[in-house]
Chains A and B, each alone.
Chain A
Amino acid sequence: MKSKRCLFSALKVVAKGLIFLVLAASLSNPALTQSSSNQQNSGPFKFENGVRKARFLIVNFKNKIFNLPQGKKTAEVNDMQKTYGSIRRHFEQLEARYGKLNFHKQIPDAVWGDVLRQNRKTGKLVQLHEWSQYFYVVFPDFVLIDSLMATMKELPEVDYVRAPVIAVPQVTPIDPEFNSPTGQWNLVKVDAKNAWNISRGSSDVIVAVIEAAGGAETGIPFFANPDFWTGDGGTSGTSKFAPGGHTGAAGPHATGVAGIVAAATDDTDGIASLGWDIRMRPYKFDESRLPDFGNVGLAAAIELAIAEGTDVINFSFVLETFETRPPVPCTGCLFRRLVNCGDMPDTEAAIEDAKGMGIIMVAAAGNNINNWVVSGGTNCAPCLELGAQGAYPALNDYVSAITATDSNDDAVTDFNFGNFIDFAAPGMVVRTTVGNAIENFSGTSFASPLVASLAGLVKSINPMITQADFKNILITTSEDVNQAQYPGKDVYLGYGRINAYEALKYTLENYGGTLSGDVLLTEDLTIASGKTLTIEDGTTIEFDSGVQLTINGVLNVNGLSVSKVTFTRSGGTGNWDGIRFNTGSSGNVNHAIIEYVSNGDGINIQSASPTIENTTISNCLWGLNLNTSNAVIENCIIDNNDEGVFDRYGAAQYLDNTIKNSFGTLTDGNGLNFNNADPMLFRNVIEDNDTGVYGSNAAFAQFGAPA
């Protein structure tokens, strides 16, 4: 696997003084004009005489500089602990020069040393980063932040300091000729229908949509879009929002991304989402403004998502900043460039925390983004870098970078590309919620959330799946749709375009998981050795003809007397191939109904000894077929099978079962057929069979025990 990430430890050597942000004074490329001019004097920066200024910096202290009570959001220089006189004097000097400083604690609930969190899915304690000393340092007015940062970095108590960044949503306007809705082809393309046959997601799984604020305050409330509600289509009913996060006003980009992740599905309100039953929790961050109005930076948004129990995080944006290039070969060139890992130590730390908590993260790989020269200097021309080398946060190794494909599975010609791209997903001209309506949108912004939604489904069937697992699943199951031109992983589509069905099936087979609700298996499902398939009570699994559930690992069927698990043929016809326990497998089948394996065994057990209890097996050629098994069959009804039980070479125990109506059309019609087996039987009722119990070939069946 490639290594694209800038390691967090390496970030500590951020090139000192390398970044000098300056004003974009002139623009030679008209295509860049709008974007650049919009950014010059907005957001966090102010440019004067080619030098950037800002009103705040983001700093993390190594030591317990502040000892604030939990929940307190702001502090002053005077609140710095006196034991750290050196750094306190440094900030006193800054205050003397610039005016009163305020420290805004980004994560108010963080307490020094309180870095252990329990992963709610695994139950394990995870060590997170220290966030109690993570502050925005706010100045009364715009200051020359680059020189301030250069000095601050030299202080031994400072872990890191950085300037704010600009988030650029990766949305591309739609050409009119494309604006002809043809349905949600993106879901068809990733085989959502078959994926939903395996899982429609769990409402316990939460996908965080972290969005840059920007237009959020001027947008339409999320609540206005009926597709975030199930029920009457209004702003009531079952909410798709998980508690927490931010559900206020949102711009069209935010609602569009959220709709791809988790629009209410199976209703008449508009679109479906791959995630179906999963829930979504929007967060906003804004590093372009002062840390007031409740807004926070990206790292804090991630940490909040972690604290609120998020399972998946989607980043549909790319971060950019301004800098001046080093003196050679360019001098004084104002350069708008993509953020790299090294620029964001706090976000790197937060992403590491998220990874530690088992959260899956995906990010837009970027549309037509580049590093741009936005003002002239000396020898600036070579600075224009087309085909940027990366996009952050997609560049982080713990985040899967997602690019977009169109309905022909083609890459978009001028979109960002590079080795960092992991996977592709449909993202061009896709239907989604926009504001309070349904429209088409395009861009990697809308490909990434489709993968996030898939991650939600994967987490629904197996909450233990980590970022690394998820990546491996997608590496194995994504379709290499540009194989003809670029076989294998390539810089345009990474490992290929995702296939949701294949991803879920591969997850179950190779990582194990849980099935619930109504499931249809159209292909054999084989659980790998060492992996566990759990089936929740009330689940009905239908099998197409010839399809078998094979267990090499563990099968736990957790039915209840009032809520059984049913295994049956699909659509009331056909012959599926039953459940097979292979050598070395194990499990417990409890309160299940297994029926209509008309040409085979309801349960076939080969050199394994699972427990089958409280289960009804009917309308099979053989109800149970045991070979070299010490299985325990207890309190089952084995009824109306051609032969009830065929037991060879093992020493199974039969306790409190009813075995009846074995009619023997194609078999000998025995209730119990022991062939060289040594079973023990207690309290069974064996009735209305052709032959109740048939023993042969040195069988030794004990209907009791020594007195």
Chain B
Amino acid sequence: MTGNNVIRDNSVGLSSSGASTYLWLGEDGNFGGDNSVYSNTGLDALGLSSSWVWAENTWWGSASGGNVYGNVIDDSPLSSDPNSGMAPAREMELQVALEPTEEKGVDQAILDLLKQRRLHRTGKLPGFISILQTTATNKSGTELGKVARGLLAVEYYLDGKFDSALATAQESKIEVAGTELEALAMLVLFDTYLYG
């Protein structure tokens, strides 16, 4: 029985990690299939360690397979999208309450930064450190600049540049001390430390 799931426009479409983890989308002639994984900005699929993304008979946005890395089986790609035109289920009926647009502008820039960081951590955005440095400098004093500086401290820390990490963290902490951004920076640090 086909799955007919659509996974698109994410930073990473499918990510499988840890022992014996399977994201099982299709096995030629045996299981599932007719899923669509495409237009994911970093990777369509990622299989790390002894884990797998098994996705045969899948539409990857082209007939040549997906933009994948690691233990990903994207054989027998479909030549066309079996879920073409598939709209999010009943989305028009279910209106979503979104944050106000004016708030979305500021937040979105920060979110983009965080998404870029995740790409960087999966090796897909090598220029991320320089992006952070530029943003921290050019946007100094703004919320975005403060977040960039906090993330920069995290990255220095993870790269073993403890002096730079400490200096940047202190600077960042001074800039954001007592604000939610301070908490945010610290949580990102913990998050990264704990989960990589």
Contact = CB atoms under 8 A, between A and B. Distances in A.
Contacts of B31: 702, 704-707
Interface of B: 1-26, 29-35, 37, 40, 51, 55, 86-91, 93-99, 110-111, 114-115, 118, 184, 187, 191, 195
A667 B114 CA distance: 11
A656 interface: yes
Most buried by A among B93, B95, B110, B184: B93
Contacts, number: 194
B52 to A, nearest CB: 9
Contact of B8 (A593, A687, A701): A687
Contact of B3 (A639, A665, A696, A703): A703
Interface string A611-639: 00010101100000000000000010101
B13 to A, nearest CB: 5
Contact of A619 (B25, B97, B114): B97
B10 A691 contact: yes
Contacts of A660: 88
Contacts of B37: 692
Contacts of B88: 637, 658, 660, 685, 687
A692 B7 contact: yes
A699 B21 contact: yes
A664 B10 CA distance: 12
A682 B115 contact: no
Contacts of A656: 89-90
Q: Report which residue of B16, B90, B96 has the largest number of chain A beta carbons within 10 angstroms of its beta carbon.
A: B96
A692 B16 contact: no
Interface string A491-526: 000000000000000000000000000000000000
A686 B10 contact: yes
Contacts of B99: 619, 640
Pairs A-B, 9 closest by C-beta atoms: A704-B32, A704-B3, A658-B88, A705-B1, A692-B10, A703-B3, A696-B18, A656-B89, A703-B25
Contacts of B97: 593, 595, 616, 618-619
Nearest to B104: A640
A669 B3 contact: no
Contacts of A691: 10-15, 118
Interface in A637-678: 637, 639-640, 656-658, 660, 663-671, 674
Given A691-B12, A695-B22, A706-B31, 5 more contacts: A616-B95, A658-B88, A685-B88, A686-B13, A693-B7
A644 B87 CA distance: 19
A120 interface: no
Contacts of B23: 674, 693, 695, 699, 701, 703
Contacts of A701: 22-24
Contacts of B98: 618, 640
B121 to A, nearest CB: 10
A686 B3 CA distance: 13
B70 to A, nearest CB: 13
A665 B99 CA distance: 15
B6 A697 contact: no
Contacts of B6: 684-687
A682 B13 contact: no
A295 B9 CA distance: 78
B28 to A, nearest CB: 9
Contacts of B3: 681-683, 702-705
A656 B191 CA distance: 31
A614 B90 contact: yes
Interface of A: 561, 593, 595, 614, 616, 618-619, 635, 637, 639-640, 656-658, 660, 663-671, 674, 681-707
Nearest to B12: A691
A700 B22 contact: yes
B3 to A, nearest CB: 3
Nearest to A637: B94
Contacts of B90: 614, 635, 656
A671 B40 CA distance: 13
A671 B7 CA distance: 10
A705 B26 CA distance: 9
22 contacts: A614-B94, A639-B96, A657-B89, A669-B115, A682-B4, A683-B3, A685-B5, A686-B13, A690-B10, A690-B11, A691-B12, A694-B17, A695-B18, A696-B18, A696-B51, A697-B19, A702-B24, A704-B33, A705-B1, A705-B31, A705-B32, A706-B30
B1 A692 contact: no
A687 B5 contact: no
B5 A690 contact: no
Contacts of B14: 691-695
Contact of A635 (B2, B19, B89): B89
B30 A687 contact: no
A689 B11 contact: yes
Contact of B4 (A666, A671, A683, A695): A683
A664 B99 CA distance: 16
Pick the most buried of A693, A703, A704: most chain B CB atoms within 10 A of its CB: A703
Q: Which of B7, B16, B22 has the most CB of A within 10 A?
A: B7
A704 B26 contact: yes
A601 to B, nearest CB: 17
A561 B30 contact: no
A688 B96 contact: no
Contact of A707 (B1, B24, B89, B115): B1
A692 B32 contact: no
A695 B16 contact: yes
A695 B14 CA distance: 8
B10 A671 contact: yes
A595 B96 CA distance: 10
Given A658-B88, A681-B5, A707-B1, A697 B12 contact: no
A704 B16 CA distance: 17
A139 to B, nearest CB: 74
Nearest to B42: A691
Given A640-B99, A704-B2, A698 B17 contact: no
Contacts of A665: 110-111, 114, 184
Contact of B12 (A658, A690, A707): A690
A664 B51 CA distance: 23
B21 A686 contact: no
Contacts of B2: 704
A170 B195 CA distance: 72
A704 B6 CA distance: 12
Nearest to B190: A666
A619 B55 CA distance: 31
Contacts of A637: 88-89, 91, 94, 96
B10 A700 contact: no
Contacts of B8: 685-687, 692
Contacts of A593: 97
A561 B91 contact: no
A694 B16 CA distance: 6
A687 B115 contact: no
B25 A687 contact: no
A185 B96 CA distance: 43
Contacts of A699: 16, 18, 21-23
A693 B72 CA distance: 14
Task: With a 10 A CB-CB cut-off, give which of A664, A693, A694, A699 has the most chain B CB atoms.
Answer: A693
B89 to A, nearest CB: 4
A706 B195 CA distance: 34
A616 B24 CA distance: 27
Given A656-B89, A663-B114, A689 B22 contact: no
